Amino acid sequence: MQVVLKIKRFNPETDKESWWGEYKVEAEATDRLLDALNHVKWYHDGSLTFRRSCAHGICGSDAMVINGSNRLACKVLLKNLGEHITVEPMRGFRVIKDLLVDMDAFLAKYRSVKPYFITHSPEPEKERLQSPRDREKFDDTTKCILCGACTTSCPSFWANEDYVGPAAIVNAHRFIFDSRDEGAAERMEILNSVEGVWRCRTVFNCVEACPRGINVTRAIGEVKKALLYRKL
Ligand code: FES
Protein backbone atom coordinates (compact mmCIF):
# COMPACT_ATOMS: atom_id res chain seq x y z
CA MET A 1 0.00 0.00 0.00
CA GLN A 2 0.99 3.62 -0.33
CA VAL A 3 0.46 5.98 2.60
CA VAL A 4 0.81 9.73 2.78
CA LEU A 5 2.29 10.89 6.05
CA LYS A 6 1.51 14.48 7.00
CA ILE A 7 4.02 15.28 9.70
CA LYS A 8 4.10 18.46 11.79
CA ARG A 9 7.62 19.82 11.45
CA PHE A 10 9.43 22.47 13.47
CA ASN A 11 13.08 23.38 13.64
CA PRO A 12 13.69 26.17 16.19
CA GLU A 13 16.88 27.16 14.34
CA THR A 14 15.13 27.90 11.05
CA ASP A 15 11.35 28.04 11.59
CA LYS A 16 9.24 30.72 13.24
CA GLU A 17 6.21 28.44 13.16
CA SER A 18 5.51 24.78 12.67
CA TRP A 19 4.59 23.51 9.20
CA TRP A 20 3.27 20.30 7.65
CA GLY A 21 5.58 18.08 5.63
CA GLU A 22 3.99 15.48 3.34
CA TYR A 23 5.75 12.24 2.45
CA LYS A 24 4.60 9.34 0.28
CA VAL A 25 5.75 5.98 1.55
CA GLU A 26 5.40 2.51 -0.01
CA ALA A 27 4.76 0.09 2.81
CA GLU A 28 3.17 -3.18 3.86
CA ALA A 29 -0.24 -2.93 5.49
CA THR A 30 1.23 -4.76 8.48
CA ASP A 31 4.08 -2.27 8.93
CA ARG A 32 3.91 -0.08 12.00
CA LEU A 33 3.81 3.69 11.81
CA LEU A 34 7.33 3.68 13.28
CA ASP A 35 8.54 1.79 10.19
CA ALA A 36 7.01 4.48 7.97
CA LEU A 37 8.59 7.27 10.03
CA ASN A 38 11.96 5.52 9.79
CA HIS A 39 11.47 5.27 6.03
CA VAL A 40 10.87 9.03 5.81
CA LYS A 41 13.96 9.70 7.92
CA TRP A 42 16.21 7.27 6.05
CA TYR A 43 15.05 7.95 2.48
CA HIS A 44 13.28 11.36 2.32
CA ASP A 45 14.62 13.73 4.97
CA GLY A 46 17.32 12.74 7.44
CA SER A 47 16.58 15.80 9.56
CA LEU A 48 13.19 14.44 10.68
CA THR A 49 13.50 14.13 14.45
CA PHE A 50 11.63 11.78 16.78
CA ARG A 51 12.40 9.51 19.74
CA ARG A 52 12.33 5.74 19.48
CA SER A 53 14.27 2.95 21.04
CA CYS A 54 12.83 -0.51 21.70
CA ALA A 55 10.32 -0.50 18.81
CA HIS A 56 8.17 -2.95 20.78
CA GLY A 57 5.96 -0.84 23.06
CA ILE A 58 8.21 -1.23 26.09
CA CYS A 59 10.38 1.88 26.43
CA GLY A 60 7.67 4.51 25.92
CA SER A 61 9.87 6.70 23.68
CA ASP A 62 7.67 7.18 20.65
CA ALA A 63 4.36 8.51 21.99
CA MET A 64 2.92 11.06 19.57
CA VAL A 65 -0.41 12.29 18.26
CA ILE A 66 -1.41 9.96 15.42
CA ASN A 67 -4.57 10.81 13.49
CA GLY A 68 -5.55 13.01 16.42
CA SER A 69 -5.01 10.47 19.23
CA ASN A 70 -2.08 9.81 21.51
CA ARG A 71 -0.49 6.49 20.50
CA LEU A 72 2.89 4.78 20.35
CA ALA A 73 4.19 4.81 16.77
CA CYS A 74 5.60 1.30 17.25
CA LYS A 75 2.25 -0.13 18.33
CA VAL A 76 -0.04 1.01 15.52
CA LEU A 77 -0.27 -0.78 12.20
CA LEU A 78 -0.63 1.22 8.99
CA LYS A 79 -3.65 -0.84 7.93
CA ASN A 80 -5.52 0.58 10.93
CA LEU A 81 -4.65 4.20 10.14
CA GLY A 82 -5.87 4.64 6.55
CA GLU A 83 -3.91 5.99 3.61
CA HIS A 84 -3.62 9.56 4.89
CA ILE A 85 -2.00 9.77 8.31
CA THR A 86 -1.30 12.86 10.39
CA VAL A 87 1.48 12.82 12.94
CA GLU A 88 2.08 15.55 15.53
CA PRO A 89 4.10 15.94 18.72
CA MET A 90 2.35 15.37 22.04
CA ARG A 91 0.32 18.37 23.15
CA GLY A 92 1.21 20.48 26.16
CA PHE A 93 4.98 19.84 26.05
CA ARG A 94 7.50 22.25 24.51
CA VAL A 95 8.56 21.05 21.08
CA ILE A 96 12.33 20.71 20.83
CA LYS A 97 12.28 19.69 17.16
CA ASP A 98 9.63 18.05 14.96
CA LEU A 99 8.09 15.22 17.04
CA LEU A 100 10.65 15.49 19.84
CA VAL A 101 9.25 17.14 22.98
CA ASP A 102 10.83 18.35 26.21
CA MET A 103 9.87 15.87 28.95
CA ASP A 104 11.94 17.39 31.79
CA ALA A 105 8.95 18.92 33.62
CA PHE A 106 6.98 15.68 33.17
CA LEU A 107 9.80 13.64 34.71
CA ALA A 108 10.22 16.17 37.54
CA LYS A 109 6.56 15.62 38.44
CA TYR A 110 7.12 11.86 38.34
CA ARG A 111 10.04 12.25 40.75
CA SER A 112 8.01 14.58 42.99
CA VAL A 113 5.67 11.76 44.06
CA LYS A 114 8.61 9.66 45.34
CA PRO A 115 8.25 6.68 42.99
CA TYR A 116 10.41 4.32 45.03
CA PHE A 117 10.11 2.19 48.15
CA ILE A 118 10.10 4.07 51.44
CA THR A 119 10.47 2.03 54.60
CA HIS A 120 10.98 3.15 58.20
CA SER A 121 10.66 -0.14 60.07
CA PRO A 122 13.73 -2.32 60.74
CA GLU A 123 14.93 -4.49 57.89
CA PRO A 124 13.35 -7.96 58.11
CA GLU A 125 15.69 -10.96 58.21
CA LYS A 126 14.30 -12.22 54.92
CA GLU A 127 12.33 -10.45 52.20
CA ARG A 128 9.22 -8.37 52.88
CA LEU A 129 6.40 -10.77 52.12
CA GLN A 130 3.22 -9.86 50.29
CA SER A 131 0.08 -11.88 49.62
CA PRO A 132 -1.12 -12.33 46.02
CA ARG A 133 -4.26 -10.41 47.03
CA ASP A 134 -2.23 -7.42 48.20
CA ARG A 135 -0.08 -7.57 45.07
CA GLU A 136 -3.21 -7.39 42.94
CA LYS A 137 -4.15 -3.98 44.40
CA PHE A 138 -1.49 -2.17 42.39
CA ASP A 139 -0.87 -4.63 39.55
CA ASP A 140 -2.40 -2.34 36.92
CA THR A 141 -0.25 0.66 37.81
CA THR A 142 3.03 -1.32 37.60
CA LYS A 143 2.55 -1.34 33.82
CA CYS A 144 3.34 2.35 33.25
CA ILE A 145 6.20 3.01 30.79
CA LEU A 146 6.26 6.81 31.31
CA CYS A 147 5.50 7.59 27.68
CA GLY A 148 3.47 10.68 28.63
CA ALA A 149 0.45 9.73 26.50
CA CYS A 150 -2.00 9.98 29.43
CA THR A 151 -0.77 13.30 30.79
CA THR A 152 -0.67 14.97 27.38
CA SER A 153 -4.20 13.83 26.54
CA CYS A 154 -5.62 15.43 29.69
CA PRO A 155 -7.54 18.74 29.34
CA SER A 156 -6.79 19.58 32.98
CA PHE A 157 -3.07 19.38 32.15
CA TRP A 158 -3.51 21.48 29.00
CA ALA A 159 -5.27 24.13 31.11
CA ASN A 160 -2.73 24.03 33.92
CA GLU A 161 0.80 22.78 33.29
CA ASP A 162 1.49 22.69 37.04
CA TYR A 163 -1.02 19.85 37.53
CA VAL A 164 1.02 16.82 38.59
CA GLY A 165 -0.83 14.82 35.91
CA PRO A 166 -2.12 11.26 35.44
CA ALA A 167 1.27 9.58 34.89
CA ALA A 168 2.71 10.83 38.19
CA ILE A 169 -0.45 9.79 40.04
CA VAL A 170 -0.33 6.32 38.47
CA ASN A 171 3.24 5.91 39.71
CA ALA A 172 2.33 7.18 43.18
CA HIS A 173 -0.58 4.71 43.22
CA ARG A 174 1.84 1.87 42.48
CA PHE A 175 3.58 2.51 45.84
CA ILE A 176 0.69 3.91 47.93
CA PHE A 177 -1.20 0.63 47.59
CA ASP A 178 1.86 -1.60 48.03
CA SER A 179 1.55 -3.28 51.45
CA ARG A 180 5.37 -3.37 51.85
CA ASP A 181 5.80 0.40 51.43
CA GLU A 182 5.63 2.83 54.35
CA GLY A 183 5.67 6.15 52.51
CA ALA A 184 1.99 6.44 51.60
CA ALA A 185 1.32 9.34 54.01
CA GLU A 186 4.12 11.44 52.42
CA ARG A 187 2.85 10.79 48.92
CA MET A 188 -0.76 11.42 49.90
CA GLU A 189 0.17 14.86 51.22
CA ILE A 190 1.82 15.71 47.91
CA LEU A 191 -1.20 14.49 45.95
CA ASN A 192 -3.61 16.35 48.24
CA SER A 193 -1.99 19.68 47.32
CA VAL A 194 -3.61 22.21 45.02
CA GLU A 195 -1.83 20.74 41.95
CA GLY A 196 -2.55 17.15 42.99
CA VAL A 197 -5.32 14.63 42.30
CA TRP A 198 -8.18 17.07 42.74
CA ARG A 199 -7.29 18.71 39.41
CA CYS A 200 -8.54 15.50 37.76
CA ARG A 201 -12.03 16.08 36.35
CA THR A 202 -12.60 12.43 35.40
CA VAL A 203 -12.52 13.06 31.66
CA PHE A 204 -11.22 9.52 30.85
CA ASN A 205 -8.97 10.71 27.96
CA CYS A 206 -6.05 9.16 29.84
CA VAL A 207 -7.65 5.71 29.81
CA GLU A 208 -8.12 5.87 26.06
CA ALA A 209 -4.58 7.16 25.50
CA CYS A 210 -2.66 4.65 27.65
CA PRO A 211 -0.86 2.19 25.33
CA ARG A 212 -0.54 -0.25 28.24
CA GLY A 213 -4.27 -0.39 28.90
CA ILE A 214 -3.97 0.97 32.44
CA ASN A 215 -7.26 2.15 33.89
CA VAL A 216 -5.72 5.49 34.82
CA THR A 217 -8.96 7.17 35.88
CA ARG A 218 -9.75 4.31 38.24
CA ALA A 219 -6.28 4.58 39.81
CA ILE A 220 -6.74 8.33 40.30
CA GLY A 221 -10.19 7.64 41.78
CA GLU A 222 -8.67 5.17 44.25
CA VAL A 223 -6.15 7.76 45.41
CA LYS A 224 -8.93 10.36 45.80
CA LYS A 225 -11.00 7.88 47.79
CA ALA A 226 -8.06 6.95 50.00
CA LEU A 227 -7.48 10.65 50.66
CA LEU A 228 -11.12 11.23 51.53
CA TYR A 229 -11.29 8.29 53.92
CA ARG A 230 -7.63 8.39 54.97
CA LYS A 231 -7.51 4.65 55.41
CA LEU A 232 -3.79 4.73 54.85
S1 FES B 1 9.98 2.65 20.60
FE2 FES B 1 9.86 1.88 22.66
S3 FES B 1 7.73 2.06 23.07
FE4 FES B 1 7.86 2.52 20.97
pLDDT digits (tens, 9 = 90+) for 125-183: 999 999 999 999 999 999 999 999 999 999 999 999 999 999 999 999 999 999 999 99
**CA 191 vs CA 41, 164, 198, 200: distances in Å:** 41, 8, 8, 11
| CA 148 to centroid of ligand 1, rounded, Å | 12
Q: How far is the CA of 55 from the centre of ligand 1 (A)?
A: 4
Give the C-alpha distances (Å, rounded to integers) separating 231 from 44, 174, 176, 184.
Answer: 57, 16, 11, 10
What's this model's pTM, rounded to 2 decimal places? Answer: 0.94
DSSP 8-state code for residue 74: G
- Ligand 1 atom with least separation from CA of 51: 1
Residue 31 Cα, ligand 1 centroid: separation in angstroms?
14
pLDDT single digits (tens) 43-82: 999 999 999 999 999 999 999 999 999 999 999 999 999 9
